[in-house]
Amino acid sequence: MTDPDARSMATSGKGSGMVGYNVQVAVDAKHHLIVAHEVTNSGSDRAQLSPMAKAARDAMGKTRLRAVADRGYYSGPQIKECADAGIAVMLPKPTTSGAKYHGRFDKADFIYIARDDEYLCPAGERAIYRYTSEEHGLQLHRYWSSACSQCAMKPKCTPSDQRRISRWEHESVLEAAQRRLDKTPDAMTVRRRTVEHVFGTFKHWMGYTHFLMRRLPNVGTEMSLNVLAYNLARVMKILGFRKTMKAMRQVGV
């Protein structure tokens, strides 16, 4: 039996995937209540950060919000959208640096000097601004130093003539997100205790490992019922049965 709306979803295994749906949840870190959820058939999470963070902010009646996500959500434009909406996000960068993998200096080893719009390299030289180009709709500034060819540290830096550094026009937003993460060392632990706890409950406590319905609208409804059941159980655990029933009657449920 097939589902024409299902798509291949990225998994942790390299080059592997699983046909299904992408379930997004935003969870309140204090009470572990699901405040927003969505079912999509997008194969990755990269475009989901801003929509889910905004949905969580609106559901909680907040004007500002702090959000934590894993590295699969890392997207410059998405982080910028969150910042513009008053949402301060914390998430680690993807570990995809080819230079670092080969034992060479990573971009993080180059310090940006904002007042001069230059980078200070590990050898103490300045990589200066050269030109701006557009890639995938992003304006990227390019920097390099003229001292690379004579540098004794070049083997640890680049196999090319110069070590070229790219900087997005809104890179400062990404740097602010990294600083927040650096100042909050338990952020990813909190994320695991909240979001992963929810999925663990669905899979084990409810015995729920796959959707029973087919087609995106039906699967979305099925997920909403699971979220309702989960949140109701959480509220009863927090308030107790009597207070929960009283609160439901007060709102006309």
pLDDT digits (tens, 9 = 90+) for 157-195: 999 999 999 999 999 999 999 999 999 999 999 999 899
Tokens of 223: 């997920």
Judged against a pLDDT cut of 90, whether residue 18 lies above it is answered with no
For strands 65-68 and 87-90, give the pairing.
parallel
Give yes or no for a contact between 143 and 130, defined as CB atoms under 8 angstroms apart.
Answer: yes
pTM of the full structure: 0.89
pLDDT digits (tens, 9 = 90+) for 47-104: 999 999 999 999 999 999 999 999 999 999 999 999 999 999 999 998 776 777 778 9
List CB contacts of 101: < 8 A, sequence separation 6 or more: none
Instruction: List domains and CATH numbers for the chain.
Output: 7-93+177-250 (3.30.420), 98-173 (no CATH)
Give yes or no for a contact between 73 and 53, defined as CB atoms under 8 angstroms apart.
Answer: no
